[in-house]
Structure 1
Amino acid sequence: MPVVTDLDSVPLTPVYTIVISATGETTVDGEPVENLPGQDARTSALADIRVRAARRGHPVRINAKEPDGSVWPLIVDHDGAVTPLDAPHPAPHPAPAPVPAPAVALAALTERAGPLGPRHAALLGRVVTAELRGDLAGAAAAAEDLETVLTAELGPLHPHTLGALATRAWLSLLLRDDWAAATRLHVLAAERRRQAGAPDVETRRAARNAHAAWALLRAADPASAETLRPELGRIGHLTA
């Protein structure tokens, strides 16, 4: 049977655990599995996993623990295809971790990158004021206005423009109302930071938050998530 060739397409969670005892008993995530007629414990456990994969509509990850204590990371599809892995399953992507008070962080960034002109400073003031009063939607709209002006006057890769874009992206996570938009904004932020040669730590944060937002989108709207998979793939190498 064919094996899974695109390992990155397999969700990182859940990871099921098969335990096979020395007496031939098997559990999946602690639940006993009855042997199928004419099948051994291992085959019966894999049949159970196949059903779970079919219900989810995609291959799933498992750790198979043998009686001797060895652990085998595998991917199992609904058709019974088993793909052994040569390394443990990767850790799940972290939940979105936006920097607290993104507008205030943007204000600090502008100080490091040089002073803003009066018009830009006024727009930044709108962002900070809206966020501090809890109006995240208003802060996001003001950050977009600021980014638009900065892009036109300073270019998309200027530190001030990148800061405004990052603030929009962070606010999109805090708003939690459009995971597709949050994914796109973080992808854009990661790509532009890479193009500008910005510090790696911020670029990695943007890329990881893009993956985290996409994971939340996939849970809520799998079809929409699939349309964004190519965009997400462009920054996969930036998360390391």
Structure 2
Amino acid sequence: MTITLASDGRGWIDGQELSGHGTVDEARTAALRTVAARAQERGRSVRVAATDPDGRTWRLVVHPNGRAEEEETVREAEDPDAVAVPAHLRPRTDAVGAAVAGGHELDGARLARELESDMERDYGTGHPYVWRARELTAHATMAIGMPGAAAELYMEAARGWHTLNSPAAYREAAQRAYACWCRVEETADLVWGGELLVDLLRLRGEEYHGALRDVLSRIDEAQALV
């Protein structure tokens, strides 16, 4: 649904003008009350795009009990690991994927890094969006042909997920880090990346004992060839 407010206190819901308008605040309250009533009728929460007189638009979720929350807050609660790409970010993530798939890996990596930087600025360094953007940068970096650097980026993301206590996201990032690391050919880089991977896997203790043993074995094999 849409709510539009004018500076003279008038308000509209889905293009239908509210009656008995007064101030902007009164119109806003009346509009949200009407939307809450619709939510009660439907038996579910209603998503709303509300535009203030200054042109700012707010994405809200209005619940049947009348409580209104910003859509971003609701989405984060429903998807704490940011598995689903939010609609407002999808064009940018799609652009990265299209660049990589189209053979423009460097452009894809640049776009991914820009997205990551914007997520850090807008949401803070530890936000799930940042770690998903970091993984996207890792994906593009791997496509360029830099498996060692890609592995380190995935490991950074895995550490972030560990800090957020998101075991599924941690496991996925760690697995991708391992897959990239296995593609490293230079012995020194293989050993360096392997030691970083060992430190990462030890964060989860016995849960990754088998993978840890495999990484240590590969490191020993690589060092024996030097």
Using the size of structure 1 for normalisation, the TM-score is: 0.44
Higher helix share: 2
Using the size of structure 2 for normalisation, the TM-score is: 0.47
Higher relative contact order (CA 8 A, sep 6+): 1
